[in-house]
Amino acid sequence: MPKIHNIIPAEVRKPQFIEFGKIPVNQYSRTIEEEKQNYSSADFVRIYRDMVIIREFETMLNLIKTTNEYRGISYNHPGPAHLSIGQEASAVGMAYHLDTDDFIFGSHRSHGEIIAKGLSAIHKLDEETSYSLMKNYFGGNALKVVEKGFQGEIRDLAVHFLLYGALAEIFARENGFNKGLGGSMHAFFTPFGIYPNNAIVGGSGDISVGAALYKKINRKPGIVVCNIGDASSACGPVWEGICFATMDQYRTLWEGEYQGGLPLIFNFMNNLYGMGGQTMGETMGFGILARLGAGVNPEMMHAERVDGYNPLAVIDAFRRKIQILREKKGPVLLDTLTYRISGHSPSDASSYRTKEEIDLWQKEDSIITYGSLLVSSGITTQDVLDEIREDTSALMTHILELAVDDDISPRLDLDRDPDLIGRMMFSGESRDRMEEGKPETLIPLDENPRVKSIRNKERYYLDKDGKPVSKAKLFQLRDAIFEAIIDRFYKDPSLVAWGEENRDWGGAFAVYRGLTEALPYHRLFNSPISEGAIVGTAIGYGMCGGRVIAEIMYCDFLGRSGDEVFNQLPKWQAMSGNILKMPVVIRVSVGSKYGAQHSQDWSSLTAHIPGLKVIFPATPYDARGLMNSALQGTDPVVFFESQGIYDIGEMFHRPGVPEEYYEIPIGEPDIKRTGSDISILTIGATLYTAIKAADILSEKFGLSAEIIDARTLVPFNYTPVIESLKKTGKIVLASDASSRGSFLKDMAQTITELAFDYLDAPPVVVGSRNWITPAFEMEEYFFPQPGWIIDAIHQKIMPLEGHNPQYDFSDEKTIALNRDGI
């Protein structure tokens, strides 16, 4: 909502028509003779070879899957193999112009793309670079395997390396590109510019946008190609990614060299089917996929359908589209028409298509027709092509032999080290900045109006006379988060932030007020209302090497970014074999007052997913220290904030929140008040409810409560909690999350295991009701109240003399509520 753009009624209300231009469909028409200007004979033949290698690789996989044998080698591969037999020309054409600076992202059906991209990169790399790159990858283990007994050129060795690394990955071997942790649907090799393929349909649709942002914002060379299927065009993240990638602001608001469109091609590998659903004629309405570009922006995304059965047509299209990106007029939408001869997977009986249809496409098989063209045009001879096919079969046999040999290609030794994968979940590095250089800012930090205003605030909630400081003078929790973030913006040139209303407005809850003045557009900008893409783009930005803060305005909107938060953000560090880092902080604001869809604490959902660090501070001191740690680290962090306490001052840490930089280790609970009779462990803003309950326990019942603020859900050090229990023997766990499935239940269970002999009563969880959140006026019946904690203690832990409970914590009630599902 930038003020420099006035929206003039007279303009927007005037009658007019939207004119759509033409979208080219299969317009490539050059003859082979014309193309001889552009390719040497060797180029022509190499294109053929690349297609054959892909075909043979997948034929081999298909035989292994369906017959457990390839050319006398037996092997059983129980995992997936989504093959793209028939699509080789599209893959090779896509990759032809790309080098290692160009990143491709893929889908579950991307063996062809990674091989094509790898072969293209190998061709362009000088041999020395190529060799050192292989030698340095995981200690050169894969190289050693293919190098043994190899005689020939480094380039050919690199082809062996590429095929072996990919196949070993598919077969879950430690020598795979990702230590066997990615597998068929996630095999990738970043040194060749091959970024993650994605087993979630459309998963790359927003991640690749983040990668393009990374290139643009950090002025990195190269483009990004998002290879996804035609059916994924119906997925929300793809549409959100397209919207995110085509925002006007890149051209209207971003300045200087940052002005202009993203270097990104959405390349729909359009094989006409989504599993068995026909996108043309059945499950979609576009007829021709390229039509989708028409409505997105005035450039219609430079959309075009290209004949993906002709490698030269695809190469030509990519050449032209790359030029558009260089002119900063991206992004581009390509509809690369192809056909999958193989089934969706080896178990596919092709019940959704006729044999006649398959036969028709097989007659036009790109390898056969392209080979015939080369022979008929005199570029090469059939003998050469036959030799290529024979050599490729022999090569594939050799690679398969290496990849299935348990001695040559062992799996990760989880017997010797059962925690091996566990340790790969987080990279755990501490890095001031993810990129070198001077961070781009608009004004010096100490001239920032908010920084100046904060300087005059009281950093403890009481003044010198012990009186509460007024809100206007109080250093609040939102100020603490701001301090950590602006500090990092001045340290790490790669750091960027986006989300809804982040710029100008300063975030819906004023955490970012002051950042607009400090940062150019490309470091802080407003996103479309696309929670999926807000997180998905951050993932892409992070995995390419940048640090990013994405904001989800209300926790309730996390559902909109479900796939990104649950399937993508947590997985890629381990699935890459620790090649990728994920320095991504997702700020999630937990609401109140706004009813059922704006008041939910879903921290438990994120804590359940392995691979995320989950933080939920409740005090300014903790918020700043933990945000500092989150921004110093290289792991994905979901950072929960509570809207109810954005304005709270520091009540625990004396003499107040420090002005200098400090970090609080992620995963350490903090004892906010010591006590001896009962422990209360809280998550988030419920800390203050527990404090009130502790006061009642003390005043009315003479009991001294020890209050522990979890601060972090994952990781979590239970030792201080167990130590507290050794003292008290009793514990209540409280948070604003609905009690069923709350992370507190997990904590209670773990505490019971760890401290069973110290327990004098069962750990009791006090959470919100398993209801919709009612209106603000009725919230006291929904969110845990101090009295509920007292009631729970009275009924479940120790009867309190003279106490009349209001909330029924009886066993009968618990059983009844669970029976009824509420």
Partner 1 sequence: MATPVTMPKLGQSVETCIITRWFKSTGDKVSTGDILFSYETDKAAFDMESPADGILLDIFFNEGDEVPVLANVAVIGEKGEETGSFRPGSSRPEDSPRTGTQTRTGIQADADIQPGAGIQANTGIQAGTVSQTAADTRLRISPRARRLALEKGLDYSRLRGSGPNSRIMVSDIEKLLLTGTGDIIPDHTEDKEYTDEAVSNVRKLIAKAMYNSLQNSAQLTHHMSADARKLLAERKRNKEAIASGSTTVELTLNDMVCWCVVQALKKFPEMNSHFLGETIRKFKRIHLGMAVDTKRGLMVPSVRNAESLKLTDLAQKLKSVAEACRKGNINPELILSTSASFTVSNLGSYGVEMFTPVLNLPQVAILGVCSIINRPADLGNNIFGFIPYIGLSLTYDHRAVDGGPATLFLKEIRKQIENFNPGQEIY
Supply the residues annotated as catalytic.
598
Question: Min. distance of Cβ 694 from partner 1 in angstroms?
Answer: 19
By CB under 8 A, is residue 804 in contact with partner 1?
Answer: yes
Residue of the chain from 257, 282, 760, 780 that contacts partner 1 (CB under 8 A): 760
Question: Min. distance of Cβ 749 from partner 1 in angstroms?
Answer: 15
Summarize the chain as % helix, strand, coil (round to 5): 45, 10, 45
Three-state SS at 463: coil
Cα–Cα distances (Å) from 476 to 494, 618, 724, in that order, read 27, 11, 29
By CB under 8 A, is residue 800 in contact with partner 1?
Answer: yes
Question: Min. distance of Cβ 720 from partner 1 in angstroms?
Answer: 18
Report the helix count and the strand count for the chain, using DSSP H and E.
Answer: 29, 21
Residue of the chain from 386, 429, 659, 808 that contacts partner 1 (CB under 8 A): 808
By CB under 8 A, is residue 806 in contact with partner 1?
Answer: yes
Count of residues interacting with partner 1 (CB under 8 A): 26
Residue of the chain from 437, 781, 799, 815 that contacts partner 1 (CB under 8 A): 799
By CB under 8 A, is residue 758 in contact with partner 1?
Answer: yes
Helix runs in 577-660, H state only? 603-608, 620-632
Return the number of the residue (32 or 761) whose C-beta is nearest partner 1: 761
Return the number of the residue (425 or 797) whose C-beta is nearest partner 1: 797
Question: Min. distance of Cβ 733 from partner 1 in angstroms?
Answer: 17
Q: Which stretch binds partner 1 (CB under 8 A): 554-562, 585-593, 648-656, 792-800?
A: 792-800
By CB under 8 A, is residue 786 in contact with partner 1?
Answer: no
Four-point Cα dihedral 774, 775, 776, 777, nearest 10: -100
Return the number of the residue (167 or 721) whose C-beta is nearest partner 1: 721
- The contact mask relative to partner 1 for 723-742 (x = CB under 8 A, - = no) is ------x-------------
By CB under 8 A, is residue 802 in contact with partner 1?
Answer: yes
By CB under 8 A, is residue 559 in contact with partner 1?
Answer: no
Return the number of the residue (354 or 804) whose C-beta is nearest partner 1: 804
Q: What is the 3-state secondary structure (H, E, C) of 337-367?
A: ECCCCCCCCCCCCCCCCCHHHHHHHHHCCHH
Return the number of the residue (581 or 796) whose C-beta is nearest partner 1: 796
In the block, tokens 């007019």 appear at 16
Taking phi first (over 0 means left), then psi (-120 to 50 degrees means alpha), and beta for anything else, what does residue 310 get? beta
Residue of the chain from 25, 294, 761, 817 that contacts partner 1 (CB under 8 A): 761
Question: Min. distance of Cβ 811 from partner 1 in angstroms?
Answer: 8
**What φ, ψ does residue 250 adopt, rounded to 5°?**
-55, -35
Distance CA 737, CA 755 (A): 24
CA torsion through residues 444, 447, 453, 458, sign: positive
Distance CA 146, CA 167 (A): 12
Question: Min. distance of Cβ 801 from partner 1 in angstroms?
Answer: 6
Q: Which stretch binds partner 1 (CB under 8 A): 318-326, 369-377, 596-604, 800-808?
A: 800-808
Return the number of the residue (514 or 729) whose C-beta is nearest partner 1: 729
CB proximity list for 514: less than 8 A, separation 6 or greater: 448, 449, 450, 451, 482, 486, 506
Q: How far apart are the first and last CA of the chain?
A: 42
Site residues for partner 1, 632-661, by CB under 8 A, read: none
CB proximity list for 300: less than 8 A, separation 6 or greater: 20, 21, 23, 293, 294
Residue of the chain from 66, 810, 814, 818 that contacts partner 1 (CB under 8 A): 810
Q: Note the residue count of the chain.
A: 822
Both tokens of 815, joined, read: 């059983």
**What φ, ψ does residue 319 adopt, rounded to 5°?**
-60, -45
Side chain identity, residue 757: D
By CB under 8 A, is residue 757 in contact with partner 1?
Answer: yes
Side chain identity, residue 572: W
Tell me, what DSSP letter sits at residue 189? Answer: -
Distance CA 758, CA 779 (A): 35
Return the number of the residue (155 or 727) whose C-beta is nearest partner 1: 727
Q: Which stretch binds partner 1 (CB under 8 A): 184-192, 308-316, 547-555, 806-814?
A: 806-814
Residue of the chain from 55, 340, 624, 796 that contacts partner 1 (CB under 8 A): 796
Return the number of the residue (407 or 753) whose C-beta is nearest partner 1: 753
By CB under 8 A, is residue 805 in contact with partner 1?
Answer: yes
- Are 433 and 198 contacting, i.e. CB atoms less than 8 angstroms apart? no
Q: Are strands 277-278 and 273-274 parallel, antiparallel or unpaired?
A: antiparallel
Q: Which stretch binds partner 1 (CB under 8 A): 207-215, 252-260, 421-429, 791-799?
A: 791-799
Q: Which stretch binds partner 1 (CB under 8 A): 434-442, 494-502, 545-553, 788-796?
A: 788-796
Return the number of the residue (17 or 756) whose C-beta is nearest partner 1: 756
By CB under 8 A, is residue 797 in contact with partner 1?
Answer: yes
By CB under 8 A, is residue 803 in contact with partner 1?
Answer: yes
Return the number of the residue (66 or 806) whose C-beta is nearest partner 1: 806
Question: Min. distance of Cβ 732 from partner 1 in angstroms?
Answer: 14
Taking phi first (over 0 means left), then psi (-120 to 50 degrees means alpha), and beta for anything else, what does residue 37 get? alpha
**What φ, ψ does residue 25 adopt, rounded to 5°?**
-125, 120
Upper half-sphere CA count for residue 319 (Cβ side, 13 Å): 11
Question: Min. distance of Cβ 807 from partner 1 in angstroms?
Answer: 8
Return the number of the residue (421 or 761) whose C-beta is nearest partner 1: 761
By CB under 8 A, is residue 410 in contact with partner 1?
Answer: no
By CB under 8 A, is residue 759 in contact with partner 1?
Answer: yes
- Are 215 and 226 contacting, i.e. CB atoms less than 8 angstroms apart? no
Question: Min. distance of Cβ 681 from partner 1 in angstroms?
Answer: 17
Q: At what angle do helices 111-124 and 41-67 cross, to 10 degrees?
A: 150
Q: Omega of the bond prior to 493 within 30 degrees of 0, cis?
A: no
By CB under 8 A, is residue 798 in contact with partner 1?
Answer: yes
Binding site for partner 1 (CB under 8 A): 729, 756-761, 791, 794-808, 810-812
